Amino acid sequence: MTTSLLPAEFADLEPFAAKWCLPSEHERYEVRLASSMDEMHAFYDAAFPRLADALVYLDAFPIDELPDDATNLLHLLYSLVNVSFPVETWHQPNVPDSGAAYLDLVAEPRP
């Protein structure tokens, strides 16, 4: 049995962890663009209803003292932030009318 990435309380989200626990916005945005809407809907539909619980769980820790599994959960929620735009607003992976434009996040807070 492989080690789980997420806290046991969020075992139901474990199937999405390998793909979406991503530490940088660059990776999250790239994976979003490379994913199908079906994949992103499946992730969103599983994770969004668990968001309120996850916020309560994470808030038990100071931001700079998160255990590894909680950090992974935080990274998963960052991906949920990114995926919420295609799912809730665009109905396609990329931003409409964005064409060849890009905005690279070259510095971001950690974790």
Partner 1 sequence: MSERAGGAVPGAGRTSANGYTKPAEGSWTEHYPELGTAPISYEDSISPEFYELEREAIFKRAWLNVGRVEQLPRNGSYFTKELAVAKTSIVVVRGLDGEVRAFHNICRHRGNKLVWQDFPRDETSGSCRQFVCKYHGWQYDLDGACTFVQQEGEFFDLDKADYGLVPVHCDVWAGFIFVHLGREPSQTLRDFLGPMVTALDGYPFEQMTERFHYRADVGSNWKLYIDAFQEFYHAPVLHARQRPGPIGAIAQEMGFEALHYALDGPHRVVTTTGQRPGSVPDEALKPSEIVFRSGLFGPWDEPELGELPGGLNPGGADADQWGLDSFQIWPNFVILIWQPGWYLTYHYWPTSYNTHVFDGNLYFVPSTTPRERLAREYAAVTFKEYGLQDGNTLEATQMMLESRVVDRFPLNDQEILCRHLHQVAAEWVEAYQKERAG
- List of residues contacting partner 1 (CB under 8 A): 25, 29, 48, 51-52, 55, 58-59, 61-63, 66, 70, 74, 77-78, 80-82, 84-85, 88-90, 95-109, 111
Q: Rounded CA gap, 31 and 79, in Å?
A: 9
Q: How far is the CB of 111 from partner 1 (least distance, A)?
A: 8
Q: Rank residues 1 and 109 by Cβ distance to partner 1 and give the closer one.
A: 109
Closest-CA residue to 61 (of 50, 80, 74, 43) = 74
Q: Rank residues 25 and 39 by Cβ distance to partner 1 and give the closer one.
A: 25
Neighbours of 57 (CB within 10 A): 15
Max CA separation in the chain (angstroms): 45
Q: Rank residues 36 and 102 by Cβ distance to partner 1 and give the closer one.
A: 102
